Amino acid sequence: MWEQYRRTFVKTQAVIAVVTAWTYLGLGQVGMRSAMFFLVMQVAAFVGAGWGVRLRGKVDRKAF
């Protein structure tokens, strides 16, 4: 899972930064809302990496 997370880290963090900035600047500078967006997206990135590894393992097992 860590390998998948490391491979996608830079792109994922760039998207998270853009979305967080948009929520802060575009929605009226509500700091708590932006902080929650940031936190949820960080957790989702971590969970998504684990899910991706799990799905890749299932696909690889069926390929043989």
Residue with tokens 């575009």: 26
What's the burial of 49, exposed, middle or buried (CB within 10 Å: 0-12/13-18/19+)?
Answer: buried
Q: pLDDT tens for residues 13-56?
A: 999 999 889 888 887 767 788 888 899 999 999 898 888 888 88
Enter the tokens of residue 55: 């799905």
CA distance 34 to 42: 12
* pTM for the model: 0.70
Quote the tokens at residue 24. Answer: 């802060």
